[in-house]
Amino acid sequence: MGVQSRLFGTDGIRGRAHEEPLTPPTVTAFGRAVAVKFGRPGHPVVIGRDTRASGPILEDAVAAGVSSMGVDVLLVGVVPTPAIAFLTRHLHGCAGIVISASHNPFEDNGLKIFNADGLKCDDALELEIEALILDKTLRPSDLAGVKPGRIESWPSAATEYVELAVKAYGHDLDLRGIKVVVDAGHGAAYQTTPLVLRRLGAEALVLNDTPDGKNINAGCGSTHPDLMQKTVPDFQADIGLAHDGDADRLICCDETGSLLDGDEMLAIIGLDLLQRGKLAQKTMVATVMSNLGLDECFAAAGGKILRAAVGDRYVLEQMLTHNLNLGGEQSGHVILRDCNTTGDGLVTALQLLRIMKTSGQPLSRLRQCMKKYPQLLVNLKVHERIPLDELPEVMDTVKAVESELGTSGRVLLRYSGTEPKIRLLVETKDQALLQPVADRILAPIRKLLAP
């Protein structure tokens, strides 16, 4: 087993804003560490953020740290996480930093890193960066004679990114006649996704696009899509699109208001690429959380699925290792590597719209390609992340359940990489078994770990 990171989770550093590790001194040390690991003369670190009230303060701290090491900084303001991956490559930056806590409430924030190729750091590199931060080996007193890097702002970055995105992702896509409802979740895509859709000819009704620093993800967006679902049939829209706070994921609904998760979107996109001969090695990557129905529908079409650990960077690692161009998560992170190097809610939306347009079929028909096994996902807050193999009562219960289910179901138990929660997934062919199985496993967990 590798060394456990103290700061980094499955998607960067995350926590309560203005508390460790997201205090200005530690965030400044983070900026210095990034500059040391990635800095190159003449190539800036591109820094973007979502709409949280804490974003500007953390942005200043990161920029100060990077600049103090003699590395230039380009501040692009509020843009989606995938836009930073795109812009870092487009602008020949040495690295990209995103200040966001994704789907978490506004009180939280986080830090993510992209390298010059728009790829997230692997575990080993994160540990090296963490060591520089925690050991505090990079102090201003050590920098005598170093000329600070320039810090420049790009106020029009969001609108200019829209033009770049239209050319890169939608150059041959005509969405005239398509009606779309967008729930921006008061997050980073509140300007960009609606602008791209309208530039391509779609009629877009936008919900939750007035961020005030505190309303990001508040009863809206991909984690609370109820309003979107209701609005789509009322607006007679063809599709509803809901982003999380940094818009690297997408949850959508069909024209009836019925939700699709990431597995269903992967099935639609993957089968389309497979049928057109555009899916590399006839294989895509999903995670251990993905529904077994995805494997079945893909196998029936002559395709193959590889499983990765939870986290879009682990999906991408598998894609890079096996030279694949499609992968994703049930949560709505979908990576279309021919377009971008990370989960991208906008790219996913445009791909679905392209398939709808070219096939002439509504989303409610397209989704029928996959029959899902019944699943139950439970998130339980915990007071401590005790390694599961040190909880014999819990693991013995899991093993007993797995033995009884055999090949007709499965159980997946893991800690969240971004929140103080344990996640339980139960999947069975018999829906009536879901809740009893979950209750049986959760009983010892609540006794041992519940706050």
The two three-digit tokens of residue 447, written as one number: 């006794």
Q: What are phi and psi of 93, to 5 degrees?
A: -70, 160
- Cβ contact 434:374 at 8 Å: yes
CA distances from 314 to 62, 164, 192, 309, 386 (A): 26, 27, 27, 6, 23
- Cβ contact 57:16 at 8 Å: no
- Cβ contact 30:129 at 8 Å: yes
- Cβ contact 220:251 at 8 Å: no
CA distance 336 to 343: 8
Q: Which of 367, 355, 365 is nearest to 173 (CA)?
A: 355
Structure letter (DSSP) for residue 363:
H
Return the HEC string of 46-66.
EEEECCCCCHHHHHHHHHHHH
- Cβ contact 198:346 at 8 Å: no
The two three-digit tokens of residue 67, written as one number: 């600049």
Q: Distance from CA of residue 280 to its chain's centroid?
A: 22
CA distance 144 to 130: 24
User: Which runs of E-coded beta strand occur in 211-369?
Assistant: 239-243, 250-253, 259-260, 283-287, 304-308, 326-328, 334-336
Helices 345-359 and 262-275: angle between axes, nearest 10 degrees = 50
- Cβ contact 307:286 at 8 Å: yes
Q: What are phi and psi of 390, to 5 degrees?
A: -100, 10
Residues with catalytic annotation? 102
